[in-house]
């Protein structure tokens, strides 16, 4: 499983979303390294196995997202990815 956390400095939603991701990974016992990376696209974006958790269309527009995952949706996405065979 690959997990990317993409953000730009100054996005007000990025810190809380990062804490949410950390909390969900801990609850599920997932120890895979997360690729925390700055970028100029929608922030924050969490991709699991290359797919945006929020199922957004690919975009390179720099904007602070309002469609951030809930704990329930992120836990579900992580659990589904963990159960998939490589």
**Does the pLDDT at position 70 exceed 90?**
yes
By the 8 A CB rule, do 74 and 19 touch?
A: no
Q: How confident is the model at residue 85 (pLDDT cuts 50, 70, 90)?
A: low
Measured CA to CA in angstroms, residue 76 lies from 48, 52, 53, 58, 72 at distances of 11, 13, 10, 21, 6
The pLDDT of 80-85, averaged and rounded, is 85
Burial readout 66-79 (b: 16 or more C-beta within 10 A, e: otherwise): eebbeeeebbebbe
Q: In what order do the strands lie in the sheet with 34-38?
A: 34-38, 3-7, 45-48, 51-52
pLDDT digits (tens, 9 = 90+) for 56-65: 766 778 889 9
What pLDDT sits at residue 12?
Answer: 95
The pTM assigned to this predicted structure is 0.91
């Amino acid at each position: 499983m690959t997990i990317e956390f993409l953000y730009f400095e100054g996005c007000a939603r990025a810190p809380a979303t990062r804490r949410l991701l950390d909390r969900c990974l801990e609850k599920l016992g997932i120890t895979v390294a997360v690729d925390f990376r700055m970028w100029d696209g929608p922030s924050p974006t969490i991709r699991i196995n290359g797919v945006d958790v929020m199922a957004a269309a690919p975009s390179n527009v720099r904007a602070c997202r309002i469609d951030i995952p809930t704990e329930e949706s992120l836990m579900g996405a992580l659990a589904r990815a963990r159960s998939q065979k490589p």
